[in-house]
Amino acid sequence: MAGFFSKIFGGSSNEQQAPVAPVAAATGGNQLVLGAHMNGTVHELSQVSDPTFSTGALGPGAAIEPTEGVLYAPADGELTVAFPTGHAVGIRTPEGVELLIHIGFDTVELDGKHFDIQVKKGDKVKRGDVLVKFDLEAVKAAGYDITTPLVATNHKRIVASTALHQSTAGSAPITAGDDFLVYSLNQ
């Protein structure tokens, strides 16, 4: 799987994910504050079970273990990827940050079963818009880890640093839309 994502989104499987430190809320400047993409529990990317994400091969970010089956847009932007299986979406923000959100690990194997994608490639979205609805319990019952990472795939070009928002430090519960992740952007 790492080879597939590396071809599409860049990155090297040898990269290590730096720990994500909490920071204060962005106050403008060159920061992009993302909203939580789900209701659930926040986890540092290094803690997730899939090495493609935990090593930072796809980019810096964080993950949420969901408590409900709804994926929300973390920022305004345009859908650059909307897999018909509903398991993953990509968004390009107005700042140029390319986000990948992947619902669970290996969930592509479900071939869309239990997923209802609400958007299509090219759609404009606003922070908080519903992107995908899914049957959380059915996906878990099928044996899949449902932890959902959010990463910046073009981080080498645009992201200077990544940090959890101060309100999400540690493995804490979060509500969709709450400030979640801060990307400091290159000038």
pLDDT at 18: 31
Q: Kindly give the residue spans of alpha helices, DSSP state H, lying in 21-158.
A: 51-54, 136-141, 155-158
Catalytic residues: 102
Q: Which residues of the chain have pLDDT under 70?
A: 1-29, 165-171, 187
Phi, psi angle pair for 77, to nearest 5° = 165, -165
Q: How many CA atoms lie within 13 A of 153 on its CB side?
A: 21
Spatial contact of 70 and 132, defined as CB atoms under 8 Å apart: yes
* Superfamily of chain region 2-7+21-185: Glucose Permease (Domain IIA) (2.70.70.10)
- DSSP state at residue 66: E
The model scores a pTM over 0.85: no
What is residue 26's predicted lDDT score, i.e. its pLDDT?
Answer: 37
The pLDDT assigned to 186 comes to 84
